[in-house]
Structure 1
Amino acid sequence: MNPRASTLWRGPRWTLAVLLACLSTVGPFSIDTYLPAFSGIARSLGASPAAMQQTLSAFLFGFALMNLFHGALADSFGRRPVVLWGMGLFTLASLGCALSQNVGTLVFFRALQGISCGAGVVVSRAIIRDMFPPHEAQRVMSQVTIYFGVAPAVAPMVGGLLFVHLGWHAIFWFLVLVGTALWAIAWRLLPETLDPAQRQSFHPRHLLAGYWQLGASPRFMALALASGIPFNGMFLYVLSTPVFLGDILHLAPTQFFWFFCISIGGIMAGAWTSGRLAGRIKPQHQIRHGFLIMLVISAVNVVLNLLFEPHPAWALLPIGVFAFGWALMMPVVTLLVLDQAPDRRGMASSLQACVGSLANGLVAGAVVPLVMHSAIALACTSAAMMLIGVLAWVWVKPRVT
């Protein structure tokens, strides 16, 4: 924690939490906003389904790759410059997407979006730990988790409205406005939170030593898996929304909001509960409660799908309960990840985000197309994602207590 933290932000602490939450949501929001316009973009640009899939894969892998470096840059040059350059480049990339006339150009600028927007996700986590002691940091991280989890659910609704009423270009013009607004607010309000005494050398040998130290640590990697993989147990349902809700549950597009209300409600309730429990129970107990909730509801979801035909009356509720359990444990695990490297929190945040985004990319590009047409396959895959997190936590728990 920066010893001058109390003097760096003059306003109410909740306003800093809101700014960091908004910076954190740029990545997930950019992933999902244009999904409802997939078919419309393909028709407009004359692109094949495979080519359109590249616009998503390019973003996700650009996001994952650059996540390795945002934190190291922030550890060396400061948090504020990395956020400003990242938001500036994201705005220009969004402008390029809005003006694209062919799918190749769109793929290029989507990759550039992915490369740039990770700065907000990675650096905001390091800023939280720079500015707040552990219990307060958990409360702020809980607030950020609310926004981070809500974004993938809200983004398709926003994108769908823009696509229907204004066309697919409007989605990227909207992202231009988002990037411009966040850059201006960060320029005006965001302080430099990295203590000068904690700056790290950007020499390649020093960087490689840091990456090796963290990447070769079984404890760090287990925590990264425990924090990043279970999210996909819910995220695969978001990516499968058109098929799962329309073809399997037979909901009309106007009824899709029930899915988003339930999943968003679970995230908000879980994150709020996490913040309320900060300092009241041991962090490890809170993580255990979150995983236990996800474990039980995943088993219930699989059994229900095996015994009954999927029906909206019961099929959406397990997703909301799963989201509650994920949001309950996520802020605590993230802080444990950052505290594995107190002098390299930016790099730790980078590697954690990279693990999560690589998992998201794999799920979006390879897993979802295989399972989205079957409710049973979706339920089993969601449970498998959760079990990876459980096994990682069971292994690492004795080593962090």
Structure 2
Amino acid sequence: MTDPDDRTPAGLQPWQATVAPIAIAMLGMLGPFSIDTPYPSFAHLQTEFAVDATVTQQLVSSYLLAFAAMSIFHGPISDAVGRRPVMLVSLLAYSVASIAAIFAPSIGVLIFCRVLQGLSAGGGVIISRTMIRDLYHGADAQRLMSRVMMIFGLAPALAPIIGGWLATVGSWRLIFGFLGGLGLLLVGVVIVALPESHPVERRTPLSIRALLGSMAGVVRTARFHRVTWAGAFLFGAYFLYIGSAAIVVVDLLGQGETDFWKLFLPMIAGFMAGAFVSGRTAGRLSRNRGVAIGIAIQLGAAALGVVLMLAPALRTLPWAVIAPAILGFGVSLAFPPIQLAVVDMFPKARGAATSIAAFLTLALNALTAGLLAPVITSSLLAMAIAVLGFTILGALFWVWHLRVDHQVDRQ
């Protein structure tokens, strides 16, 4: 019998089937690299431009808000013109924005360049997720999504380490040069490794009316919102630590610019372990059961985090990273099947569904990084309580989704 993992999807050469998961994961890694690589340079930026941590935190929220705003359009446009053109144009624009940031004379100009980065980065990050469902089906799709998340999970661990090294040997400008080079590298990856996965006969008309119509069809679906917000809050709980890392590592844990790995490494280890388990159980465990197990683990981790941070003596390493590590395991079990559930609702508008789901998730993350992070990072206990709150909200949305689906099935 042939292992499902060994089947070559239609449209892929055997060698492309081997490298496609790596290529798609590399495209997905652009997001966390864009967020996490500049973190170690925040202290230098505050000194050079005479600003405080609240201002440099906007380098995160401005990028995320722009990413979220443009993410609405990447998917629908790719439904009309194909996946590759959208990815290639977006990656080239991202590279130009990154290189422009090298020459920023003020924090305002640098924030503007971050906005341009955010507007363009989603072309690779979001469309690569859509390609998974274009090429793979059922359990195979979950296996690939899990493999991609395992590789993708390395990015938040590697990015601040690379950023810290670049900030040490050069300056924050070198970091943006690195990001520009990464964008150009990904252009080459798309050209060489990824074929067009959305053939002409499946495309929607390229018109404002058609694009808005496909988006409206997604937005009007109540089931889409229940599932999407479940995933958004569950991942948002994990992202609270990522989006606040500059404050958590330096201010709350008292570490240096090269010590971000002390937070990220345990988190990513848990995340990758969960993604591995998700891939191994694909086809053996139902989608709903897999999500339920992931949510249960995440709830337990979030509650453990609050309990540990109630003791002032434990608000330090290694105690402060135990709950985030387990949280990463839970979210990477639940998130891949939730993403696939969203895309499967709209087989004729996968790009639109992926885009709008990404927009809602990113908008939540951007507001978290820009507005909530400065408030909840007053202490590690406040962080833990916020993480528990987000996890509970995600669980409630998922339970709501299951109850409504059960009622519909009974009718």
After TM superposition, the score normalised by the length of structure 2 is 0.91
| Counterparts of 1:326 and 1:369, CA distance in 2 | 24
CA contact under 8 A between 1:145 and 1:330: conserved in structure 2? no
1:334 partnered with 2:317: no
CA contact under 8 A between 1:34 and 1:171: conserved in structure 2? yes
| Counterparts of 1:158 and 1:331, CA distance in 2 | 27
- Which residue does 1:268 correspond to in 2? 272
- Which residue does 1:347 correspond to in 2? 352
**Structure 1 residue 26: Cα displacement:** 0.8
Q: What is the total number of aligned residue pairs between the two structures?
A: 398
Alignment match of 1:90 (pick from 70, 79, 94): 94
| Counterparts of 2:65 and 2:111, CA distance in 1 | 12
Alignment match of 2:148 (pick from 141, 144, 167): 144
Alignment of 1:150-299 (within 5 A): 150-251=154-255, 256-299=260-303
**Structure 1 residue 368: Cα displacement:** 0.9
**Structure 1 residue 175: Cα displacement:** 0.7
Describe the shift of the 1:27–1:250 C-alpha distance in structure 2 as closer, same or farther (beyond 3 A): closer
Higher mean C-alpha deviation, range 34-43 or range 241-250? 241-250
| Counterparts of 1:71 and 1:272, CA distance in 2 | 27
CA contact under 8 A between 1:234 and 1:382: conserved in structure 2? yes
CA contact under 8 A between 1:72 and 1:202: conserved in structure 2? no
- Which residue does 2:3 correspond to in 1? none
| Counterparts of 1:253 and 1:96, CA distance in 2 | 24
| Counterparts of 1:21 and 1:128, CA distance in 2 | 10
Alignment match of 2:121 (pick from 103, 110, 117): 117
Describe the shift of the 1:400–1:334 C-alpha distance in structure 2 as closer, same or farther (beyond 3 A): farther
| Counterparts of 1:25 and 1:122, CA distance in 2 | 11
1:131 partnered with 2:135: yes
Alignment match of 2:366 (pick from 334, 343, 361): 361
Describe the shift of the 1:51–1:320 C-alpha distance in structure 2 as closer, same or farther (beyond 3 A): closer
The unaligned stretches of length 5 or more in structure 2 are: 1-7, 407-411
- Which residue does 1:28 correspond to in 2? 32
1:374 partnered with 2:379: yes
Describe the shift of the 1:254–1:8 C-alpha distance in structure 2 as closer, same or farther (beyond 3 A): closer
**Structure 1 residue 147: Cα displacement:** 3.5
Alignment match of 2:393 (pick from 388, 397, 400): 388
Give secondary structure in 2 for the equivalent of 1:312.
coil
State the Cα deviation string for residues 332-354 of structure 1 (Å, max 9, x = none): 11000101111000000101110
CA contact under 8 A between 2:275 and 2:333: conserved in structure 1? yes
The CA RMSD over aligned residues, in Å, is 2.0
CA contact under 8 A between 2:16 and 2:193: conserved in structure 1? no
Give secondary structure in 1 for the equivalent of 2:10.
helix
1:302 partnered with 2:306: yes
**Structure 1 residue 189: Cα displacement:** 2.5
| Counterparts of 1:255 and 1:33, CA distance in 2 | 13
Give secondary structure in 1 for the equivalent of 2:361.
helix
Give secondary structure in 1 for the equivalent of 2:14.
coil
**Structure 1 residue 230: Cα displacement:** 1.6
- Which residue does 1:314 correspond to in 2? 319
CA contact under 8 A between 2:243 and 2:368: conserved in structure 1? no
| Counterparts of 2:258 and 2:45, CA distance in 1 | 22
Describe the shift of the 1:35–1:143 C-alpha distance in structure 2 as closer, same or farther (beyond 3 A): same
| Counterparts of 1:348 and 1:321, CA distance in 2 | 29
**Structure 1 residue 321: Cα displacement:** 0.5
| Counterparts of 1:252 and 1:195, CA distance in 2 | 50
Deviating 4+ runs (over 6 angstroms): none
CA contact under 8 A between 2:160 and 2:260: conserved in structure 1? no
Describe the shift of the 1:297–1:125 C-alpha distance in structure 2 as closer, same or farther (beyond 3 A): same
State the Cα deviation string for residues 71-114 of structure 1 (Å, max 9, x = none): 01100000010011111111111111112222232222211110
Give secondary structure in 2 for the equivalent of 1:202.
coil
| Counterparts of 1:277 and 1:69, CA distance in 2 | 34
After TM superposition, the score normalised by the length of structure 1 is 0.93
CA contact under 8 A between 2:19 and 2:193: conserved in structure 1? no
State the Cα deviation string for residues 107-163 of structure 1 (Å, max 9, x = none): 222111100010112111111111111111101111222233432333222111101
**Structure 1 residue 398: Cα displacement:** 4.0
